[in-house]
Chain A
Amino acid sequence: MSARILRKVFLFCALTAVVSVVLIFIFVAVKGAPIFATAGFTRLFFSMNWDPLKGNFGMLPFIVGSFIVTLGALVLGAPLAIGTAIFLSEIAHDRIKRFIRPSVELLAGIPSVIYGFFGIILLVPLSRMLFGGSGFGLATAWIVLAIMILPTIAAISEDAISAVPPVYRMGSLALGATRWQTIKRVVIPTAMPGIVNAVVLGMGRAIGETMAVLMVLGNAPSVPKSVASPASTLTSAIALDMSYASGVHQTALFAMGLILLAVSMVLITVVRVWSGRVGR
């Protein structure tokens, strides 16, 4: 009797996630879809002209902005994070680990607004000095995001690397491999599915990040021309405009949200399919 009730309770917990995903999709799609009928794909996706007051909703600057910001953050952040993971799992002594691992974990717990502050106080002046311009722009956003995704990628990669059975390392060392050769030729390839998984999750975090990006990116609705140029992403544009948008403008923002959702779904599917194939 009580077992049956407990079963229902846990089923309810699990279903919450499913119902939420479905509701979010329906809600965003219903609110955003009408714009495709009124404006058409070309005028939305392939137009640079974003001028809501005149009825122009070209989203290309935001799509390109999200893409470039995410890519840059990954190029900077992923090697840093994977390097951290290798150091923690393969190289560091316990004493150093006890100092570095909590730092990495703390990084994951810092609210994104605080990352925004960090960017404004430290990186904006630095970028202004190095690249000119206002300092609010791509370079600053890249660095802020790279640091934000570091703990995600580092933690999951470290798990993957630590899960490589010690007998593989022993086998390699016993054949006369150096520690570095062993890491490069056996440990990393074996942990690769987990590392890719980590990078994709980091990518998801970078695409979805809103507040810190909004604070340091400069928010110009145009395609950036240099590393110092201000830009906008899908998320930052939605967050900035949502407070006052109405009518078609609001519908356009929902459509942008729909794009974000679709990209995340594609990412998750890619990881699933890929790690499933490698795992077999």
Chain B
Amino acid sequence: MATTFEVKNLDFYYGDFQALEDINVEIEGSTITAFIGPSGCGKSTFLRCLNRMNDLIPETRVEGLITLDGRDIYTNETDLVDLRRRVGMIFQQPNPFPMSIYDNVAYGPRLHGSPSKSELDGIVETTLKQAALWKEVKDKLNSLALSLSGGQQQRLCIARVLAVNPEVVLMDEPASAIDPTSTQKIEDLMAELKERFSIIIVTHNMQQAARVSDHTAFFMADDTGKANLIEFGNTDQIFTNPKDERTESYITGRFG
């Protein structure tokens, strides 16, 4: 199923400070979209607008429209529980809960229903396989998740998100805190998983963006700190033939 985000005239404020200005973009389903840009350019802020995680930060404000499959996600009636189940999130630092590997994966399904033991067993096995972690942990499902390596923990977090059947998964620099081998595994994983849901990934690593994504969005902040979406397009086009000269300067490494 193709779930689409549409963003129109989005402004975002931390108190009086405007962090995002007039973002317009359409993100299609079953694709991988990379957000690139210099540090502090608002790409993570924008990512967190998409599942309303910014709501947790006091005195933030959103203006404009974000729709998911045509429905505004910033109305008073928006069901945040449902939104965040549909739009999962992987954080920069792997953050498995301090409980067993099994309980981490079962956490979401237990929140959203009361699955039987055998159903849970099934979900745990399937999602750990999908996250390419099953072989490494199948004999120690009851061990503490924190005993895993950083890369394994991040794949566990992916399994944890998969277990609630998301339609979109937001990844906030998912590979910046882990080793290259694990990064490779996660990139392979993304290519497989995009059949099932779309992925939006924030990354500082331009090679990574070029390798994994179908579309790329380039963000940049002006002198006052307001970030704009400078250019959005097919990844090939952005990296080989950017239309905006700022995009070109960035990807050729002239700044940022």
Contact = CB atoms under 8 A, between A and B. Distances in A.
B97 A172 contact: yes
A171 B95 contact: yes
B30 interface: no
B155 interface: no
Interface string B153-171: 0000100110010000000
Interface string B35-56: 0000000000000000101001
A175 B164 CA distance: 8
A189 B103 CA distance: 13
Contacts of A167: 91, 93, 95
Q: How large is the interface on B (under 10, 10 to 19, 20 to 34, 35 or more residues)?
A: 20 to 34
Interface stretch (A119-127, A176-184, A254-262): A176-184
A107 interface: no
A168 interface: yes
A177 B85 CA distance: 9
B84 interface: yes
A170 B89 CA distance: 9
A276 to B, nearest CB: 16
Contact of A168 (B85, B95, B108, B160): B95
A178 B89 CA distance: 15
Q: Which of B97, B112, B164 is packed against the most chain A CB atoms within 10 Å?
A: B97
B161 A175 contact: yes
Nearest to A167: B95
A176 B52 CA distance: 11
A180 to B, nearest CB: 11
Contacts of A181: 111
A185 interface: yes
A181 B164 CA distance: 16
A275 interface: no
Contacts of B51: 174
Interface string B218-236: 0000000000000000000
Contacts of B53: 170, 173-174
B99 interface: yes
B155 to A, nearest CB: 14
Contact of A185 (B80, B84, B85, B107): B107
A175 B84 CA distance: 6
B97 A174 contact: no
B2 interface: no
A128 B158 CA distance: 61
A176 B82 CA distance: 6
B89 A176 contact: no
Specify which of A165, A168, A173, A178 lies most central, judged by the most chain B CB atoms within 10 Å of its CB. A173
Nearest to A189: B99
A86 interface: no
A175 B111 contact: yes
Contacts of B108: 175-176
Given A170-B53, A181-B111, A175 B88 contact: yes
A211 interface: no
A175 B160 contact: yes
25 contacts: A168-B95, A168-B97, A170-B53, A170-B95, A171-B91, A171-B95, A171-B157, A173-B56, A174-B53, A174-B84, A174-B91, A175-B84, A175-B85, A175-B160, A176-B81, A176-B82, A176-B84, A176-B85, A176-B111, A178-B81, A181-B111, A185-B107, A189-B98, A190-B97, A190-B98
Interface of A: 165, 167-168, 170-178, 181, 185-186, 189-190
